[in-house]
Amino acid sequence: MIKTYVAFDLETTGLSEENDQIIEIGAVKVQEGKVTDRFMQFLRPDEPISPAITYITGITNEMVANARNTETVVQEFVQFCDGYMMLGHNIMFDYKFMKRYAGKYGLPFEREGLDTLKIARKIHKDLKSKSLESLCSYYEIINEAAHRAYHDALATAKIYHMMAHYYEEKYPAAFAPEPLLYKPKKVQPATEKQKNFLQALILCHNLDVQADYDHLTRSEASKIIDGIILKHGNLKR
């Protein structure tokens, strides 16, 4: 059993790592089988969190309103994970988001990892569902706040420990870490024209929109601009 790793989970505004954004990072650092550190941070997205996402996660726009600078949080998380294997449930979903964010700020994030969902599909063919909730129920693990990043990360670590304890000897290959491979599409930075137009829209409609203009991509700028025009209208002439 691997006893030293970082288990992590993200909450996001949607399912696309290219078009949606991270709103919460949660992680636990495990050393020699014991939790030695934790990471919990909100990130403020460029657009309001939808009611559907708030319903699923419990995270509101008010909760992320005073989140720290996104680049700083991402830098701290990458440093938190430095030198550790990553553990997650459906890990590639979270890793793709994190890899894209790290790349946006010029940070390397090459890791090996283990996926508890992938392990469960190998050893628990008897279970109809291999969701985090179902596995917590099967192993009688209490997840105090499901769909919140830190608590899901902690639950993932507990599930891994239980599965490894009972099944690693029988299925050693299922518990072998693998490189996490994902190459984000090359992004184009927002044009000066887009930045100027976005700033003009925000000023015109007196909006509280805080865009990271230094790292804003062309697609992100277009998405924010379209959202503002749809909700508030174009520039007033």
The CATH number for 147's domain is 3.30.420.10
Residue 171 to residue 130: CA distance in whole angstroms:
17
Whether residue 185 lies inside any domain: the answer is no
Whether residue 237 lies inside any domain: the answer is no
| pLDDT number for residue 81 | 97
Question: Quick check: is 124 catalytic?
Answer: no
Looking at the structure, tell me whether residues 142 and 203 fall in a common domain: no
Contact between residue 208 and residue 180 where contact means Cβ atoms under 8 Å apart: no
Rounded percentage of the chain residues whose pLDDT exceeds 90? 75
pTM over 0.85, yes/no: no
Whether residue 127 lies inside any domain: the answer is yes
> Could you report the per-residue pLDDT of 47-56, keeping only the tens digit for each?
899 999 999 9
Looking at the structure, tell me whether residues 210 and 168 fall in a common domain: no
Query: If pLDDT is split at 50, 70 and 90, which confidence band does 237 have?
Result: low
Looking at the structure, tell me whether residues 162 and 210 fall in a common domain: no
Looking at the structure, tell me whether residues 152 and 57 fall in a common domain: yes
> Could you report the per-residue pLDDT of 175-190, keeping only the tens digit for each?
999 999 998 777 778 8
Whether residue 147 lies inside any domain: the answer is yes
Whether residue 32 lies inside any domain: the answer is yes
Range of the domain at 207: 192-232
| pLDDT number for residue 99 | 96
Looking at the structure, tell me whether residues 79 and 24 fall in a common domain: yes
Phi, psi of 40 (to 5 degrees): -140, 115
Looking at the structure, tell me whether residues 208 and 107 fall in a common domain: no
- End residue of a domain, out of 140, 156, 179: 179
> Could you report the per-residue pLDDT of 125-172, keeping only the tens digit for each?
999 999 999 999 999 999 988 889 999 999 999 999 999 999 999 999
Q: How many domains does the chain have?
A: 2
Residue in 147, 151, 165, 232 annotated catalytic: 147
Looking at the structure, tell me whether residues 67 and 148 fall in a common domain: yes
Looking at the structure, tell me whether residues 128 and 203 fall in a common domain: no
Looking at the structure, tell me whether residues 27 and 117 fall in a common domain: yes
- Torsion sign across C-alpha atoms 18, 46, 89, 29: positive
How many CB atoms are located within 10 Å of the residue 75 CB? 15
Residue 87 to residue 11: CA distance in whole angstroms:
16
Query: If pLDDT is split at 50, 70 and 90, which confidence band does 46 have?
Result: confident
Whether residue 184 lies inside any domain: the answer is no
Looking at the structure, tell me whether residues 142 and 214 fall in a common domain: no
Whether residue 83 lies inside any domain: the answer is yes
> Could you report the per-residue pLDDT of 78-133, keeping only the tens digit for each?
999 999 999 999 999 999 999 999 998 999 999 999 999 999 999 999 999 999 99
Whether residue 186 lies inside any domain: the answer is no
